[in-house]
């Protein structure tokens, strides 16, 4: 992942509603969700949700697939993993990391 891609993904997630949408899609897994189901579950107006989904898609964090009349949105797990890898790349100053503790940090960090 490039620095620009990381900044784009972090910027997209730096909004409460977009973070909630993304987390909901992560929980939904590979089956994804339609915008109407997402809107109902999150209590978000559909036009606002459309804007947030567009921002997440532009950042590479979600994908959309047409299935009949519906769009199915899914979290892009590869991009999410790439972002996490980018953020933790130097967590142990170039050394092999120890087993993470309960907080998810390396014991030597």
Residue 49 lies in a domain: yes
pLDDT, greater one: 28 or 88: 28
pLDDT reported for residue 104: 61
Overall average pLDDT of the 2-19 stretch:
95
Residue 104 lies in a domain: no
- Residue-range definition of the domain harbouring residue 44: 3-85
Using a pLDDT cut of 90, give the percent of the chain over it: 76
- Looking at the whole model, is its pTM more than 0.85? no
- State the CATH number of the domain containing residue 62: 1.10.10.10
Task: Give whole-number Cα distances, 85 to 2, 46, 51, 67, 90, in Å.
Answer: 11, 33, 27, 32, 9
Element (H, E) at 66: strand 62-67
Residue 20 lies in a domain: yes
Using a pLDDT cut of 70, give the percent of the chain over it: 82
Residue 91 lies in a domain: no
Count of domains for the chain: 1
Residue 92 lies in a domain: no
């Amino acid at each position: 992942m490039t620095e620009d891609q990381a900044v784009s993904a972090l910027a997209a997630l730096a909004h409460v509603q977009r973070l909630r949408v993304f987390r909901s899609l992560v929980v939904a897994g590979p089956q994804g969700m339609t915008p109407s189901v997402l809107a109902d579950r999150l209590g978000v107006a559909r036009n606002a949700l459309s804007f947030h989904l567009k921002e997440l898609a532009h950042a590479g964090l979600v994908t959309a697939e047409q299935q009949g009349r519906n769009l199915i949105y899914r979290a892009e797990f590869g991009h999410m993993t790439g972002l996490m890898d980018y953020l933790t790349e130097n967590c142990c100053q170039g050394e092999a990391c120890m087993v993470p503790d309960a907080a998810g940090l390396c014991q030597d960090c």
